[in-house]
Structure 1
Amino acid sequence: MRKQTVAAALCAASILMGAPAQAAPARAAVAPGAAGADARFAAIHRAEWQWRIKQGLAHDEASRDQVEGDYPRVDAASQAARLAYWQDVLRRLGGIDAAALSASEKINYQVYRAQIAAFVEELRFREYEQPVNADSAFWTDVTYGARQPIATAAGYRRYLARLAHLPRYFDEQLANMRAGLARGFTPPRVTLAGRDAALASVAESAPEATVFYQPFKDMPAAIPAADQALLRAQAVAAIREHVQPAYARVLAFMRADYMPRAREALAATGLPDGQAYYQSKILEFTTTNMSADAIHRIGLAEMAKIRAEMMETIRQSGFKGDLPAFLAFLRSDPQFYAKTPDELLMRAAWIAKKFDAKAGQYFGYLPRQRFAIRPVPLDQAPYYTAGRGGPGVYLVNTWNLPARALYSLPALTLHESAPGHAFQMPVALEQKGVPPFRRAYISAFGEGWALYTERLGTEMGIYETPYEVFGMLSYQAWRASRLVVDTGIHAKGWTREQAQAYLRENTALSEHEVTTEVDRYISWPGQALSYYLGQMAIMEARAKAEKALGPKFDIRAFHDTVLQLGSVPLPVLAARIDRFIAEGGKSPYPKD
């Protein structure tokens, strides 16, 4: 999953809200004393959701499939108004007796309060003044809409109206960046190298060659040819007159001012009020109040355990040599790398289909939504991760094939497609009776689940060779090492070179991946902590349920219970599994 600002996260939540609901989990009866508290809570979150819609940060059911006609306001005044509004929401939430809520509303309350608190913290620290990092930026975020199909002529006209509003949106972002630059609130300079390329690909190309023209290359046959020709001409004009000048302004600013003057220090704790800021990111991305020191120690301990598993796997492979020699072998032997982009995509598809054969043994409820496997767009690929997944899509990075090891592909595929992101997120979307704010993505849960599925692949028989098992272990080490590296950089004074060396020595990641990943952690404090801590919470919950239930433990019921939650803070997950145990390990879905 990519970086999401408050606005992006809210838009994602509203998009997810519109998915079809299929299976209804059993709902607990409301205790007589809970009705009043439930009603007060509902009044708050329903009014706030309607306010989000008016702000352009969310969508109602009727407009969920429509192309956006504008961008939300992101200027400082609008951000300050949102901060005040959400602070008032928090105040009103504090006036509700959470203990008096019904069982289902207790979960909703915990999720909602954590969500609003995260929005408040992001705005309090004025994160909107840094709308760019090594992983993504507002000028790449806006291209996602250009990659989606448009079904009607009216949709194309709304899309053209959106392009006309892009200069206003970019100018507001530029003003925010200037304010951040003035107070030293920028990504570290070293992590911005080359990130202007995506801007140049739009500003310096023919309009028809830009990503914004993509929806016009293959238009629906239902639109008359004459209308298609007119819309294409209007698109060329809009891109030339509105989009490209806006991109050119940002490109000039990036090259002349922002990149040369961005801060040199790496640590988030070196930012204004940096200690509190980094702790707020730990809370947001792990949903816990753990300290950086405690997380660092966990990372070191887990790395030692994984190292032992790695050494045993090397022994099983028959390789004669130590870990550094084995890593050098994996990084250099041609047998481990695809020769063409199509070969990599086909191998990913084969792995995904291997899961399909096992799905019914591990999951009682299967999502209706399928996913496509697509290459990462070339304008983003050089600085993109090896893959990303979500509802309807598994993106595989086919750029720089010598950096895309086949022995890691099974773990990557499980994580990003099914039963990872492209499975978990649709399951969440298909729940009935869930308020729209529950559709938002919580990193500790979502990334923790996806990483858990990589381990689950050993039980499912997905890994067929010691090399693929080692690839999974390397990915485990990669995520555990993030606990060490993220806290090392942002709380312990680690250098970029020190962080790169740690990944290089402890994982089988390619040199390209080592570089891009470390820059991602440097410029995106705390996010890297989500994965392993989330996986640990799920594995600990499973171990507890297995021990308590004994022969009554059903892996399908456990997985269904976890996924039926959607995306929740880790303490909510732990409490739900306690209830799962108390109820005898039954599935949350009614039997047919």
Structure 2
Amino acid sequence: MPPVHTLSRLALAFTLGAIPLTLVSPATLAQASAVAEREQQTADGRLQALYEREYAWRQAMLGKVLDDEGEWQAGSRWARVDPATQRENLAYWEQVLAELDAIPVEQLSHNEQINAATFRQIVTTLADEVRFKTFQAPLNSDSFFWTGLFPRMGGFEDIAAYQRYIERLRDLPRYFDENLGNMRAGLERGYSVPRVTLAGREKSLEAYLVPGQGNPFWTPLADMPENIVGSEREALEQQALAAINEAVVPAYSRVLDFMRDDYLQQARSSLAARDLPDGEAFYRAQIRAFTTLDLTPEEIHQRGLAEVARIEAEMQAVIAKTGFEGNLQEFIEFLRTDPQFYAKTPRELLSYAAYVAKKADGYMGEVLGFLPRRRFTILPVPEAIAPFYTSGRGGLNSCLMNTYDLPSRPLFNLPALTLHECAPGHALQAAIAKEAPGEIPRFRRDNYFSGYGEGWGLYTEWLGTKMGVYETPYEDFGRLSYEMWRACRLVIDTGVHYFGWTREQALAYLGERTALSTHEVTTEVDRYISWPGQALAYKLGEMLIRRKRAEAEEALGADFDQRYFHDVILGLRSVPLPVLESELDSWIAAGGADPYAGEAP
């Protein structure tokens, strides 16, 4: 909604007769316009100062430093996560929200209204995480505080960055000890990850127990730029080796001992988020955080059931096209067991994904008006985490495809997975976020809302039907199976965390309705159990985008251009779903024009 400035309020007063028209003069109108402009500048300026201050404070709190170009880079320490720091963080964010409340939204410019809504969602989520003490469980079945602490690809640019990296390695014992202290406190108050979802996850620590150059933390040293030579190179290598042997390996050893001897023994046996301290309020806060929507668990559960029924009907139609004689369960068993659907080597799976990605490239000009310059690569999921990692994951520089346990990675799923993770999904989405015309504040550049981002990823799987990507009914069934997977999440997540489902119920519900392998079904269900609310974002975001596309096609008719529809979505970058819906409504009402018309190339 555009801002209601002083001038429009004055015009409304004239319309209602509150101000006699005989009193209006050009000077009065000019004065009112000047007042409105000053109010907007004041409100915009206050908001900008607030979110820039909070963002800079947050980066420093995370241990980051500014480089010579004014960009935030990893510093010489990790974030402090001890209870005292958490209390300080909460007090700060509560003050920020109070200051945000004092800024009149109606006086903000349109762009700053978007910034305000996005900023509010971010800070509210950050504050809620501390209020519910989620820092006392800094892990789930999918992600852990001890992974992802060094670059996935390549080294650092200069000596100073390597020196900061080595200092971070030295700081690792402190960071890990604070996390372990938080986890002990969580166990004491009954707040932990469900034990059943963590089975075997401690094995992800073992690779980091290797001393010297065999340790994963040596990776950036192995990829050191060629311009760092001689004694400087040797000094960095020796310092890194010492830090790995003296700090990293002992720190990981302590975490492994704690996980085996304490956490996995004492973690809760119950599953539901409602079973946690203040559990119902916590689960509702998680729903808001991941979906950015104010929906109840009951509403989400019912939406999920409706989607499951719709998709199952489409599945039956696709099965009929294959000529298979049998019911849905028999067809799924056929897909899970027939060797024709599975790669024999990791390279074959990666090559299949690469083919799909390259085929999709041929349609990008029909899908998007703005195309980024950046490209991505396709890599296997690292061996240390592959056994319990998802099928794939995409980002700015790469798409990871899981080649572990090839009999659980059907090729008919790969087209949908590649579209979602690579392009036009997450890798392309991240590149556009970096390169699209129009400046957005730093706090928005680095932010990611699951409802927006994962909603787009799932939407691109459906978009593949418009791009000619799916070549066989089996691949189309794979797409529907993936969509069913996300619809089942709405039912399973709420079923487990609100309605008290057992793990066995959740496994059966997903396994009977999708062609996911048994390994994938188990991995996914454990993720939903250990990460309340996260899985809800995908389908709810996709449903909103597809609903808005249908509305745009109906309203605009022949004037609808999907390139501009997609440009509006991706040009916003990551925003709460209500903001996305409002912006698409405005675009439709304005005639569906190219959002970048008039922008310099």
TM-score range for the pair, normalised by the shorter chain length: over 0.9
C-alpha distance after superposition, 1:507-556 (max 9, x if no partner): 00000001110000000000000000000010111111111111111111
- Contact map agreement 1:67 1:150 (CA 8 A) in 2: no
Equivalent of residue 161 in structure 1, options 161, 164, 167: 167
Q: Supply the distance in 2 between the matched residues of 1:156 and 1:329 (Cα, whole angstroms).
A: 52
Indicate whether 1:579 and 2:582 are aligned: no
1:306 and 2:311 equivalent?
yes
With over 3 angstroms needed to count, the CA separation of the structure-2 counterparts of 1:67 and 1:286, relative to structure 1, is closer
Q: Please give the alpha-carbon distance, in whole angstroms, between the structure 2 residues aligned to 1:285 and 1:65.
A: 25
The CA deviation at 1:148 is 4.2
Q: How far apart are the structure 1 equivalents of 2:541 and 2:331?
A: 29
Q: Measured at CA, do residues 168 and 470 of structure 1 come closer, stay the same or move farther in structure 2, by a change above 3 Å?
A: same
Report what 1:5 is aligned to.
none
CA separation in 2, counterparts of 1:65 and 1:402? 43
In the aligned structure 2, how far is the partner of 1:217 from the partner of 1:369? 25
Kindly state the Cα deviation for residue 322 of structure 1 after the two structures are TM-superposed. 1.0
Unaligned runs of 5+ in 1: 1-29
Counterpart pick for 1:402 among 396, 400, 407: 407
Shift of 1:63: 5.9
**CA separation in 2, counterparts of 1:55 and 1:112?**
18
Give secondary structure in 1 for the equivalent of 2:456. Answer: helix
2:14 corresponds to: none
Q: Deviations over 1:280-335 (max 9, x none)?
A: 00111111111101100110110000001000000001111111111011111111
Q: 1:124 aligns with which of 127, 131, 145?
A: 131
**Residue in structure 2 matching 1:369, options 369, 374, 387:** 374
2:87 corresponding residue in structure 1: 80
State the alpha-carbon separation in 1 of the partners of residues 153 and 355 from structure 2.
Answer: 25
C-alpha change, 1:44 and 1:64, in structure 2 (3 Å) is closer
Distance in 2, Cα, partners of 1:104 & 1:66: 27
- The Cα shift of 1:265 comes to 0.3
DSSP 3-state at the match of 1:506: coil
Q: What is the distance in 2 between the residues matched to 1:59 and 1:309?
A: 52
Partner of 1:457: 464
Q: How far apart in 2 are the matches of 1:182 and 1:254?
A: 15
Match 2:353 to one of 348, 352, 355: 348
Query: What residue number does 1:102 align with?
Result: 109
How far, CA to CA, are the matches of 1:96 and 1:127 in structure 2?
30
In the alignment, is the contact (CA less than 8 A) between 1:49 and 1:58 conserved in 2?
no
Count of aligned residue pairs for this structure pair: 561
Give, in angstroms, the shift of residue 152 of structure 1: 2.6
The structure-2 alpha-carbon separation of the partners of 1:175 and 1:561, relative to structure 1 and needing over 3 Å to count, comes to same
- Tell me, yes or no, if structure 1 residue 554 matches structure 2 residue 553: no
Deviations 1:30-54, CA, capped at 9 Å, x for gaps = 9624222111211211221221233
- 2-side partners of 1:276 and 1:69: how far apart? 37
Secondary structure at 2:404's aligned position in 1?
coil
In structure 1, give the amino acid aligned to 2:594.
Answer: S
Question: Structure 1 CA distance, aligned partners of 2:75 and 2:350?
Answer: 31
* Matched residue type, 1:325: E
Residue 208 of structure 2 is aligned to residue 202 of structure 1: yes
Residue 39 of structure 1 pairs with residue 45 of structure 2: yes
Alpha-carbon spacing, 1:219–1:59, altered in 2? closer, same or farther (3 Å): closer
- 208, 214, 235: which is aligned to 1:230? 235
Residue identity over aligned pairs, in percent, reads: 53
Separation (CA, whole Å) in 2 of partners of 1:149 and 1:339: 33
Residue equivalent to 1:215: 220
Equivalent position SS for 2:394:
strand
Deviations 1:395-416 (A, max 9, x none): 1111111111100000000000
* Structure 2 counterpart of 1:524: 531
Match of 1:481 in 2: 488
Between 1 and 2, higher relative CO (CA 8 Å, sep ≥ 6) is seen in 1
1:67 CA drift (Å): 5.0
Q: Contact 1:53/1:60 (CA < 8 Å) preserved in 2?
A: no
1:421 and 1:450 in contact (8 A); partners too:
yes
Q: Does 1:240 align with 2:223?
A: no
Q: Which residue of 1 aligns with 2:151?
A: 145
- Among 459, 465, 471, which residue is 2:478 paired with? 471
Corresponding residue of 1:20: none
TM-score (norm. length: structure 2) = 0.91
C-alpha change, 1:417 and 1:146, in structure 2 (3 Å) is: closer
Question: What residue identity is the alignment partner of 2:541?
Answer: G
SS in 1 for 2:390: coil
User: Does residue 338 of structure 1 match 2:339?
Assistant: no
Could you tell me how far 1:222 is from its partner in structure 2? 1.7
For residue 581 of structure 1, report the CA deviation from its aligned partner.
1.3
The aligned residue for residue 322 of structure 2 is 317
Distance, in Å, in 1 between the alignment partners of 2:574 and 2:310 is: 28
Shift of 1:66: 4.7
Label 1:54 to 1:382 Cα distance change in 2 as closer, same or farther (>3 A): same
Query: 3-state DSSP class of the match of 2:201?
Result: coil
Q: Which stretch of the first structure deviates more once superposed, 65-74 or 461-470?
A: 65-74
Counterpart secondary structure, 2:521: helix
- Amino acid corresponding to residue 149 of structure 1 in structure 2: G
**Matches of 1:279 and 1:415, distance apart in 2:** 27
Cα deviations by residue, 1:150-182 (Å, 9 ceiling, x for unpaired):
233332222111111111111111111111111
Q: C-alpha separation between the residues in 1 aligned to 2:360 and 2:329?
A: 32
Counterpart in 2 of 1:4?
A: none
Q: Tell whether the 8 Å contact from 1:207 to 1:239 is kept in structure 2 after alignment.
A: yes
Describe the SS at the equivalent of 1:370.
Answer: coil
2:282 — aligned with what? Answer: 277
Counterpart CA distance in 1 for 2:466 and 2:145 is: 40
Cα distance change on mapping 1:562 and 1:85 into 2, 3 Å: same
SS, match of residue 155 in structure 2: coil
**Conserved? CA contact 1:163–1:243, under 8 Å:** yes
Amino acid at match of 1:354: K
SS at match of 1:145: coil
1:173 pairs, out of 161, 179, 199, with 179
CA offsets 1:7-35 (integer angstroms, 9 cap, x no match): xxxxxxxxxxxxxxxxxxxxxxx962422
In the alignment, which residue of structure 2 is the partner of 1:391?
Answer: 396
Specify the code of the residue in structure 2 equivalent to 1:322.
N
SS at match of 2:379: strand
Corresponding position of 2:59: 53
| Deviation sequence 1:317-372 (CA, Å, 0-9, x none) | 11111111110111111111111111111111111011110000110001121111
Distance 2:296 2:123 in 1: 22
Matching residue's letter, 2:468: G
Decide which of 501, 504, 507 is 1:500's aligned counterpart: 507
Mark the CA change 1:194 to 1:252 in structure 2 (over 3 Å): closer, same or farther. same
Q: Check the 8 A contact 1:146/1:211 in 2, yes or no.
A: no
Distance 2:152 2:486 in 1: 32
Judged with a 3 Å threshold, the aligned counterparts in structure 2 of structure 1 residues 281 and 583 are, in CA distance, closer, same or farther, namely same
- 8 A contact 1:184–1:263 mirrored in 2: yes
- Aligned counterparts of 1:390 and 1:167: Cα–Cα separation in 2: 29
Quote how far apart the aligned CAs of 1:57 are: 5.7
**Over residues 377-425 of structure 1, what are the superposed CA-to-partner deviations in whole Å (9 max), with x where a residue is unaligned?**
1001111000000111101111111111100000000000010110112
- Residue 577 of structure 2 is matched in structure 1 by 570
Partner of 1:24: none
1:521 aligned partner, one-letter code: Y
**Matching residue of 2:23:** none
* Contact 1:69-1:158 within 8 A present in 2 as well: yes
Cα 1:31–1:409 change in 2 (3 A) is farther
Distance (whole Å) between structure 1 residues aligned to residue 118 and residue 66 of structure 2 = 20
Counterpart CA distance in 2 for 1:244 and 1:520 is 28
Equivalent residue letter for 2:407: P
Looking at structure 2, the residues matched to 566 and 176 of structure 1 have their Cα atoms a distance apart, in angstroms, of 34
Provide closer, same or farther for how the CA distance between residues 259 and 234 of structure 1 changes in structure 2, counting only shifts above 3 A: same
Displacement after TM superposition at 1:582 (Å) = 1.9
Deviations 1:46-96, CA, capped at 9 Å, x for gaps? 221221233136554636475532111111111110100000111111111
